[in-house]
Structures are given as C-alpha cells and as structure tokens.
A and B are shown apart, each in its own frame.
Chain A
Amino acid sequence: MNWLTFAIATYLLLLLQVGLRGLFDFNVTAIEGAEPNLLLILMVFIAMVAPLHTSLWAALILGLLADLEQRQALVVAGDEPMHAVLVGPWALAFIAAAYVVLQMRGVVYRNSPLAFALTVFIAGMGLYLVHTAILSIRGLPFLPGEAVAGWSATQELIGAFLNLVYSALIALLLHLPLRSSERLWRFRIPTGPARRAV
C-alpha cells in the first residue's frame, strides 16, 4: 500500500469529519448528535483489499487519530470533571473492526456499493461494541482509570447505531471515489483460496 496516499486520504477524511460536523448533524431530532464515521469507511476500504498486516496497522493508525481527536470527560476528585485525551479505546476498536472486515472480505463483492455499505455497517458494529466495552470497563473499582462522566453504555450504543446508519449511507456515496482511486493506493491484491472463492 502506498502510505503517502493513505496519509493524504486520512488527513482529508479527518478534516471533513471535523470540519463538517455542523453540516452532518443537521438538527433532526431523531438523529441528533449522529455523524458519519469517515475514518471507519476508509478503514473498511483498506481492509477489504490490503494484506492482513497492512490493514491492521492502518486500522491502528486511524484508531489512534480518532483517539487523539476526542476529549473524554472523566470523573475525578472535586466538582469538575477532567477532560482528557484517552489513547486506546478507538485504536483497539478500529483493530477489532479491521479484523471483522478481514474475516468477511472473502465473501463480499467489493465492487458493489451496497456490499461496501453493508460491510461498513457490520464492521462498525464491532467498532462501537469494543469502544463502548473499553470505556464501560473504565471506572470499575479494581482498575486505576476514572469513569467517564455521565457514561451510559445504552445511550452510547443507541448513538452508535445512528452513527452506523449514517456512515453506511455516506459509504454508498464514497464507494465510487474510493474505488476510482485504487490505482493510487497500489494495493497488492491478496491471492489465495479466499480470493478465488470470490
């Protein structure tokens, strides 16, 4: 994989995700606070084509960036919660999601936008489940980490479901530009039994 292309694509999608938050969240009550996860879409695109280790390292980088982009309010001693950049929850979740895609890609027709969107949805379920689980573990009495302020796993998963639906819809739109750019990525398409089965 061409890592320069990866860096540029990651920067652009992260920029869009951060910069267009106001537009993505278009004040419809039902999906309030929902936003597409563009880094997830990029990760799925890479993991559907790239070799195993490349996919996992790319997922790790995307996850770390997602971690660095977030601020979590943690319950610390005193009145005010502490806002901290937690490293790990998204990184692990992205690796888990990449693993899901790696398991699925042998049976997914990657030229189809619908299949791509569906893969984003399924991988996203893994992503948000792992992320929610890791943050839910924080604050358990025997662990040193503080709980996230106002944390509700249920609320988080409901929000995650909306994010996933939104992400899958955006994935439908992004499939064509991503597919057209495949030449720039210089993927070494893996061959083997799973590939032949497609």
Chain B
Amino acid sequence: MLSRNQWLAVVLIGLLVVSQLPGPMVHSVSSRPAHLLSTLLTPLSQWMLSAGNRATRRPDLLQRREPGEDAVRQLRAAREEIRRLQRRIEEYERIRHRFGEQLEAFDYVHAAVTRWSGDPANPWLEINRGRRHGVAEGDVVVNYRDLVGRVVDVGPGTATVRLITHPQSRLEVRVQPDTADEPARHHLVMVDAVPRRGRFEAMVEVDADAPIEQGDIAFLHVGEHRAGRGWPEHAYGFDVGMVTRIEPDQERLPLLRKRIVIEPFRDLPRLSNVTVFVRREYERPDDN
C-alpha cells in the first residue's frame, strides 16, 4: 500500500504528464467536469457579472456619438441615423434576399453571459445555453447586429464563445461609410485582429488614396469571395466595428499605405446577453 507521500508523488507525476498531453485528448476528459463547474457557478456568476459589467462597461460607440443639447445637431444626427438605418435595411434586405433560405434554417437562441476569461490575450465568454438548447460547436454568436464570436466548446447547459477580438481571429471585412451620402465609397480590406487594451482593434493596410474615413463601418464581408476565414455564410454582413483611427503606416510605406483601426461598437467582453444562430433540428447533420 502506498504511503501518503507516495500518493502525492504519483499525483504530481500524473499531473505533469497530463499537462503535456495533446489538447484534444485532455479536453475530452476535462470538458465534462469543466462544464459541471460552470453549471454550478452559473446562476450566481451570471447575476454578478451582469451587475459588474453594467458598472464598468465603456459606452457603446454609437452612444458616444450622440449629440448633446444642441437641438439642430440632434435633428441632423437623427436624419443621419434614419438615412443610415435605411441604408442598413437595404443592406439587410440584400443579405436576406441572398441568404434568405439559409437564415430560415436557423433558430435564434438568446443566452446570458455567465463569465468571461478576463484575459485580453485570450478573450472568451461563457453562456448559459448548451447542447440541450441546440447550441453546437462553430455556431455564430451575435449581439443585435454586432458580430461577437463563435462557439468553440459546448457542454450540456453551457458553451464557450471565442470572441472576434481573439488574437488568432482573422476577419475579412468590407468598410463603407456610415451614411447614405457617399454610396460610392465601398472598399474591401482584409483585417487582422490584434488585441489592444482589452478590446478588439484591427490594424489593416489600405492604399493611401482609398477614401476610408474615421466613422466608417466595417461589416463581415458579403461578396463573391467567401473562401477561407472559416465563417459560415449566414454570419456575413454583421457589424465588426467602426473605424476609429487612420494613420500612415510608419513602419513600412507611409506614403503609399495607411493603417486603420477598427473597434467593435460594444465592449465585447462585458456583454450581458448574446444571440446564438442555431441550426434547426431537422437541418442538423444526422448526429444520433
């Protein structure tokens, strides 16, 4: 029979070995207890996280842009907003027309965020919906019209969502003006996500004469070129963020290239609620 010290040594060696095993192998064993722990924490952590997020969340970019007390500016902004929404409706109509059949194959599962990683270098959220609610790995997660991320791990009642702000995220976005005044300014730019200050910022390079301006909106690209990047078609068209900064590319070709920074409209790690695009049961591949 082993002594207590020997038991401890066995445990230590076992842990050392397990910690170096391939991820899929370890995850297949640890996933179940991890989700059990999440389920135990969820009811209270969800409430606490929501309260904490309300206190510390930065204002949404759209709110930040709202004018103050000046009525004329308010009116102008309201008109601008109406035009923007009209344009957005047209955009969505187009998306719906294009992908309508696919969208009808989905249900929308509303979920509350129960915790987040707290690590800007590895941002993820956990939500209180899982396999029982139809959520599956790879499902697209949004918050209203903002793209949030994708489901990367699913338990019976919880799921982990990797945010688009993750350093490994690669998004293809289309940048266009926020208003309908300049419909001609459409540009396709490739975005590489880089985590900055706890939220998503994207640095891209565009031709110096490309008329991208501060305040332009970036959408997940809807176009003919849909190859790669791993996003399903029904995710295309959701907002990625707004152009908040444009600067010359000092490192390489400052005269020929610019770098733009795209920031999500919302403080993604501090969201309280999200929506998951869940494929309807009859559309799912046979998994019984």
Contacts and interface: CB of A to CB of B under 8 A. Distances in A.
Interface of A: 11, 14-16, 18-27, 29, 32-33, 35, 53, 56, 60, 65, 67-74, 76, 79-89, 91-92, 95, 134, 137-138, 143-146, 149-150, 155, 159
A47 to B, nearest CB: 14
Interface string B71-115: 000000000000000000000000000000000000000000001
B56 A145 contact: no
A32 B116 contact: no
Interface of B: 4, 8, 11-12, 15-16, 18-24, 26-27, 29-31, 33-34, 37, 40-41, 44-49, 52-53, 55-58, 115-122, 124, 152-153, 160, 162, 166-168, 170, 197-198, 228-230, 270
A81 B15 contact: no
Contacts, number: 166
Contacts of B8: 53, 56
B23 A21 contact: no
Contacts of A82: 23-24, 27, 152
Contacts of A138: 19-20
B197 A32 contact: yes
B168 A92 contact: no
A15 B45 contact: yes
Contacts of A146: 22-23
B19 to A, nearest CB: 3
Contacts of B162: 73, 83
A128 to B, nearest CB: 13
Contact of B37 (A27, A56, A65, A81): A65
B168 A150 contact: yes
A73 B16 contact: no
13 contacts: A22-B56, A33-B119, A68-B34, A68-B37, A70-B117, A82-B152, A84-B24, A85-B153, A86-B26, A87-B26, A87-B29, A89-B19, A145-B22
B31 A18 contact: no
Contacts of A85: 26-27, 30-31, 34, 153
Given A26-B56, A32-B120, A19 B48 contact: yes
A92 B22 contact: no
A121 B228 CA distance: 46
A88 B152 contact: no
A35 to B, nearest CB: 5
A92 B14 CA distance: 10
